Amino acid sequence: MEEDSGATDGGPAAAGLAVIQAFVRTLDASPGVYRMLDAEARVLYVGKARNLRARVANYARPAGHSPRILRMIGETAALAVLTTRTETEALLLEQNLIKQLRPRYNVLLRDDKSFPDILIARAHPFPQIRKHRGRRTEAGDYFGPFASAGAVNRTLNQLQKVFLLRSCPDSTFANRTRPCLLYQIRRCSAPCVGLIDEKAYAGLVDDAARFLSGRSSRVQEDLAREMQAAAAAMEFERAAALRDRIRALTAVQSAQGINPRGVAEADVVAVHAEGGQACVQVFFIRAHQSWGNRDFYPRTGAGAEAAEILEAFLAQFYDATPPPRLILMSHAIENADLVADLLAGRVGRRVELAVPQRGEKAELVENARRNARESLARRLAESATQRRLIEGLAAALDLAAPPRRIEVYDNSHIQGTNAMGAMVVAGPEGFLRSQYRKFAIRGGGGGAGGDDLSMMSEVLTRRFERLRREDPDNAAGAWPDLLLIDGGAGQVAAAAAVLADLGAGEVAVAGVAKGVDRDAGKEEFHRPGRAAFALAMNDPVLYFVQRLRDEAHRFAIGAHRARRARAAGATPLDEIPGVGAARKRALLAHFGSAKAVARAGLADLRAVPGISDGLAQAIHDFFHPRG
């Protein structure tokens, strides 16, 4: 541990040390969670302890602290504790508080998106195979996680060729009268029209489940045996179809990349830390196959060590993602037994944490570690370029300092209909996609032609009113330093007026207009109260601004198209009180269309699963109002 003398009497951490030393005298040896607070009662750090007095007393020592911990001590003005019955409870409470409070000096997992699975939904006599994301609440067999939606889609594409399982929703299945295109191209066995019976289809489902569980050799042997039998019986078309299925199965296996023979199920987690930043690589091994990898860049709490980063990552990452039976790690962590107990409690079975030293498992970890090192090197290089561009943007716009958070706004609509506002966020580390936001314009788009000024005013008003409610002191760093608006002087003036009305007039605003010819490269920049200006066509800062504007435009168009598609799929059923998404699906699956629901009699409506007598009456009355 790096020592620092700044914690001695009169040093920068002296006041914080005195606070901690006084607080230690009030503690006992109970397990629990402690919080370091600054002078404005904002949480600096959340930690857990088996023995609160002993753990907090470590911070009361005048020397022996890393620069990161020393800075935290210097900012500490108060402490708060919560006692628990066990250390495992303390660890769980610590992770909940970190997720909720996002303290500055804790390691934080910033990408908390769920990972996709493959689901064989078994609630239907002819199970459907499809991609699934989110909690595993539906009845069926789940296989995953996969590193990305693309990895799932590629695997599903090949599995359809091998096992011929249906991918259509139940409502489509119930209303088919002839085979669809997937049957014609040999990717479905067409159970919807009776071209395969339930028993034979169940055999295909079992084969698919065996393959996804790692027992693919038997599946291949069965297919080869069937192909030989078909050829011997001179059923050459059937033999050719089986041959194609065997080839597709081989393609699935070869496409999985690294296929460890000695590891059936594991996550390989490796961390590399450098320059105050870190990359964590996670490789997913399932059924002796690599199902892809993802890299993460957690906030390191101003420079935590690799083992601390890894321990915090495991506790946060597996909060929403089910852990496998084995987790192979690049570093030994301090509380391995405690983390293993926490993960085991989440999934109801044993979870093993290991740091392999030799053999195939060690090679898997070293591969992940190398990827983490290379990914972080690329990110650091990109960050350096990004910082130079942001500094250039600050100079071009005459800002007092380079912005740490840039928010870019754009609107999208067609003649004012289905209007959507969009906000994208960028900073020194690039685009922060998890912080993008969409705004359904409540004013309807301002009339037939659309009023971009009123749309922008509405979006900014909603955005900054929410910021004032949720983060009034900018403790979470959610307030922008610069707003970029797609537009000219009018849009900039409207945005500045909104910010001034909401008490956020210190936020810098700039508009980017396409210029007289509306050509890329001739953009004009607008600032409140200043003359418009342009940058040289080959200026890297101009390319940077174009990239920011284009990303906001792309996101806004995507949001608008999604809203328009939802509007196109709307039915009168959406207007009936008590008919939500699930009951709407049940009605459409039973009757085939909203028109058929409208024509249905009361007795027919009562026959739909999930529709009570009272709701059936309400639906009938909606379509047949009494005079």
* DSSP per-residue letters across 241-274: HHHHHHHHHHHHHHHT----SS-SEEEEEEEEEE
177, burial (CB in 10 Å: exposed 0-12, middle 13-18, buried 19+):
exposed
Least confident of 155-169, 325-339, 401-415, 432-446: 432-446
Q: Is the pLDDT of residue 445 over 50?
A: no
- Helix, strand or coil for residue 294? strand
Which residue in 97, 98, 107 sits closest to 280, CA to CA? 107
pLDDT at 11: 62
Q: What is the pLDDT of residues 78-100, one digit of tens each?
A: 999 988 888 888 888 888 888 88
In this structure, the strands spanning 78-83 and 32-37 are antiparallel
Residue 448 has pLDDT above 70, yes or no: no
Domains of the chain, residue spans: 5-101, 116-255, 265-377, 406-567, 572-623
Residues 6 or more apart whose CB falls under 8 angstroms from that of 72 comprise: 16, 36, 44, 45, 105, 302
Residue 256 has a pLDDT of 44
Confidence at residue 4, expressed as pLDDT on a 0 to 100 scale: 45
Per residue in 453-467, pLDDT (tens digit) is 888 889 999 999 999
Q: Report the alpha-carbon distance of residue 74 to residue 53 in Å, rounded.
A: 20
Closest CA to 148 of 137, 168, 133: 133
Average the pLDDT over each of 15-29, 207-221, 487-501, 613-627 and give the range with the smallest value: 207-221
Check for a shared fold between 5-101 and 572-623.
no
Distance, CA of 314 to CA of 341 (rounded, Å): 12
The 128-133 sheet, strands edge to edge: 128-133, 116-121, 140-143
Could you please state the CATH topology (level 3) that the domain comprising 572-623 is classified under: DNA polymerase; domain 1 (1.10.150)
Per-residue pLDDT for 334 more than 70? yes
* 3-state SS, residue 438: strand
Using the predicted structure, report yes or no on whether residue 269 has a pLDDT greater than 80.
yes
Instruction: For 37-55, write each residue's pLDDT tens digit.
Output: 998 888 999 999 999 999 9
What pLDDT does residue 216 have? 58
Q: What is the CATH number of domain 406-567?
A: 3.30.420.340
Q: How far apart are the first and last CA of the chain?
A: 83
- Residue 6 pLDDT class (50, 70, 90 cuts): very low
Residue 141 has pLDDT above 60, yes or no: yes
Instruction: Categorize the per-residue pLDDT at 336 as very low, low, confident or very high, splitting at 50, 70 and 90.
Output: very high
Residue 12: band (very low, low, confident or very high) from pLDDT cuts 50, 70, 90: low
Q: What was the pLDDT predicted at 592?
A: 79
Closest CA to 284 of 307, 261, 259, 312: 259
User: Model confidence over 341-355: pLDDT tens digits?
Assistant: 999 998 899 999 999
Phi, psi (deg, nearest 5) at residue 435: -105, 5
Tens of pLDDT, residue by residue over 170-180, are: 888 988 888 98
Q: In this structure, what DSSP letter does residue 169 have?
A: -
Radius of gyration for the alpha carbons in the chain, expressed in angstroms and rounded: 30
Model pLDDT, residue 526:
93
pTM for the complete prediction? 0.61
- Structure-block tokens of residue 528: 């409140």
CATH topology of domain 265-377: Nucleotidyltransferase; domain 5 (3.30.420)
Give the integer Cα–Cα distance in Å for 188 and 180. Answer: 9
Q: Collapsing DSSP states into helix, strand and coil, what is residue 118?
A: strand
| pLDDT score of 2 more than 70 | no
- Give percent above pLDDT 70 in the chain: 88
Residue 202: other Cβ atoms inside 10 A: 15
- pLDDT digit string (tens) for 291-306? 778 888 888 876 788 9
Q: Residue 251's pLDDT is what?
A: 58
188 has pLDDT over 60: yes
- Region 571-585: mean pLDDT is 81
User: What is the residue-averaged pLDDT of the chain?
Assistant: 84
What does 492-533 look like in DSSP terms, one character per residue? Answer: HHHHHHHHHHTT-TTSEEEEEE-TTTT-TT--EEE-TTS--B
Nearest CA to 559 among 365, 378, 458, 420? 420
Confidence band (pLDDT; 50, 70, 90) for 1?
very low
Higher per-residue confidence, 397 vs 156: 397
- Please state whether the peptide bond connecting residue 145 to the residue before it is cis, i.e. omega within 30 degrees of 0: yes
Read off the pLDDT of each residue in 126-130 and give the average, rounded to a whole number.
Answer: 92
Residue 258 has pLDDT above 70, yes or no: no
Token pair for 525: 């920049």
Q: Provide the pLDDT confidence category of residue 439 given band limits of 50, 70 and 90.
A: very high
Look at residue 518 in the predicted model and tell me its pLDDT.
Answer: 54
Could you tell me if 436 and 423 are in contact, meaning their C-beta atoms sit under 8 angstroms apart? yes
More confident residue, 374 or 158: 374
3-state SS, residue 443: coil
Q: What is the pLDDT of residues 506-531, one digit of tens each?
A: 999 999 987 665 556 678 899 998 88
For residue 450, pLDDT over 50 is answered with no
Say yes or no to pLDDT of 113 above 90.
Answer: no
Q: Using one digit for the tens of pLDDT, what is the confidence trace for 16-37? A: 899 999 899 888 898 999 999 9
- Tell me the average pLDDT across 329-340: 93
Token pair listed for 125: 């006599």
Q: Distance between CA atoms of 537 and 349, rounded to whole angstroms?
A: 61
Residue with tokens 């990110």: 379
The DSSP secondary-structure symbol of 371 reads H
Superfamily of domain 5-101: GIY-YIG endonuclease (3.40.1440.10)
How far apart are the C-alpha atoms of 157 and 258, rounded to whole Å? Answer: 20
